[in-house]
Amino acid sequence: MTFIFESGYTFWNPLIWIIVFLVVAIMVYFFRRSGQKGYKKDTDQARIFLSGEEVPEAGERHIRVGNIYWGFFETLKEYYKQMLRIHTGIVNDYMLWFVAVTVVSAIILVVAGLVR
């Protein structure tokens, strides 16, 4: 069957997943339908409640990209410091890397040939 993907130790049938997703989607739709029918747009019912505090404007309450995963970056601060140091933006440096990697690869190939 063309849906089933099998190669020795890999078995994979996307249809099963799609059926599971469809069942979940139908369930979500069912739960949503059984929600409040008396909901009215643009009234206090739809307004955000923040424990009585004043709700900031949309732009101010949106968590921007710079604030996401702060802890991850803080933990890997040293790694990123080194990485950013390499990314100089200068094309001469890019070429130096190219020369270095080519030379090292050529040496490895030649030396490995002599050893084996």
Residue ranges that bind other proteins, judged by CB under 8 A = 1-10, 12, 14-18, 21, 57-59, 61-66, 68-69, 72-73, 76, 79-80, 83, 86-89, 91, 93-95, 97-98, 101-102, 105-106, 108-110, 112-113, 116
Sign of CA dihedral 77, 81, 82, 84: positive
Tokens standing for residue 77 = 């601060």
CA 107 centroid distance within chain: 38
Give yes or no for a contact between 54 and 47, defined as CB atoms under 8 angstroms apart: no
Residue 29 or 80: the one with the smaller Cβ distance to other proteins is 80
Minimum CB separation of residue 40 from other proteins in Å reads: 19
